[in-house]
Amino acid sequence: MESVNKDSLSELTLEELFPDTLTGTNCVFVDKEREVWIATEMCAQHLESTIDALVVQDNGKPIGIVGGYDILDHLRKNPTRDSQYQHETKEIMFKDVPQVSKQTKFKDLMDTWKNSRRAFAIIPNKSGSYSPISARKMLEVGKRYKTDLTISSMPKKKIITFQGDEPLRDIIDLMFNNKTRKLLLGNSNQFISDRTILEGLSRITKFQKDVENFLDVPINKFTFDHIKVITEDIPFDKLCTVMDRMEHPYVCYKDIVVSPWDICLTLSSEGIQKSDVKLEMTKTCPHCGKNIN
């Protein structure tokens, strides 16, 4: 197993960070003329995974992306049931497709994500299609990141909470006003996210025909997720390992909450760049897939 000095992490290319898994997953595509309810249902299945967004295509060419932000922003302006069927994906998509290459440096990827406010990009792959690069994927780097940093050293941020009986309108406003995809239920280990909201919207659209204005629906009609509570001050690489094993990674330790985006910010932070750490670069056998020491 080779190691790279962490001083140069932000200068490493995506190919160097992911020597074997950079293009191992294909993007999920949606046609530009598909209705918003289709995109809603698809996003509910893929948000918070390695994919994390849909790529909108026109005759096989990527022309935009759609994620939780885009659908919820559309919902704020068009809250009726009919709008889910009357509007097409091309009307709500983010048109500047963030595209990177194998030679894109980590620091430049982070700049792209910050500028677009979307931790998602696409990269051409050998099959002639595209693969996704998301914040979730950076957990693979964190697992190989050897440092004395622990979860208690992670930056603290304001935890935005909700009470549990608000209408969906108030919940989405909280998310947009605080630029967050997740809200914690007060005095509990439960949370709501853009993904769980989209799951609920899909269910209501299909089975509750009497609901006309989605923003009036109480948030307690949606399913809440449970944040994973960490009880020990575990090392950074172990934290990333724990999160990478989760279907929807989100953890807390005392008054610190950590999402994949927080991992990205930590990996790119100036203080970390100067610390005495190493990034282990694992090679795998092309025949059996096992690690080569």
Tokens of 150: 């622990």
In a domain, 288, yes or no: no
pLDDT tens-digit series, residues 77-106: 999 999 999 999 999 999 999 999 999 999
Same domain? For 151 and 210 the reply is yes
Residue-level pLDDT at 148: 87
Q: Please say if the pLDDT value at position 291 is more than 90.
A: no
Mean pLDDT of 116-124: 93
Give the whole-angstrom CA distance, residue 120 versus residue 114: 10
Give the position of tokens 């006309």. 212
Q: Sorting pLDDT into bands at 50, 70 and 90, what band is 51?
A: confident
CATH of the domain at 259: 3.10.580.10
Which pLDDT score, from 0 to 100, does residue 292 have?
52
Which tens digits make up the pLDDT trace of 245-286?
Answer: 999 999 999 999 999 999 999 999 865 554 444 566 555 444
pTM of the entire structure?
0.88
Are residues 150 and 128 part of one domain?
Answer: no
What's the DSSP call for residue 138? G
- Predicted confidence at residue 270, as pLDDT, reads 61
Alpha-carbon distances of 40 from 11, 46, 91, 152, 176, rounded to whole Å: 37, 10, 13, 36, 18
Say how far apart CA 64 and CA 58 lie, in whole Å: 9
pLDDT tens per residue, range 154-182: 988 899 999 999 999 999 999 999 999 99
Residue 279 lies in a domain: no
The answer to whether residue 101 sits within a structural domain is yes
Q: How many domains does the chain have?
A: 2
Q: Where are the beta strands (DSSP E) in the chain?
A: 2-5, 28-31, 54-58, 61-66, 120-124, 130-134, 145-146, 161-162, 182-185, 190-193, 225-226, 228-229, 251-253, 256-258, 278-281, 283-284, 291-292
Cα 19 to chain centroid, rounded: 21
Start-to-end Cα distance in the chain: 5
Please, what is the average pLDDT of the chain?
Answer: 90
Mean pLDDT of 183-193: 96
75 domain residue, yes or no = yes
15-37 tens-digit pLDDT: 999 999 999 999 999 999 999 99
CB contact set of 149 (below 8 Å; sequence gap of 6+): 235, 236, 266, 272, 275, 277
Determine the structural domain holding residue 217 and report its residue range.
146-273
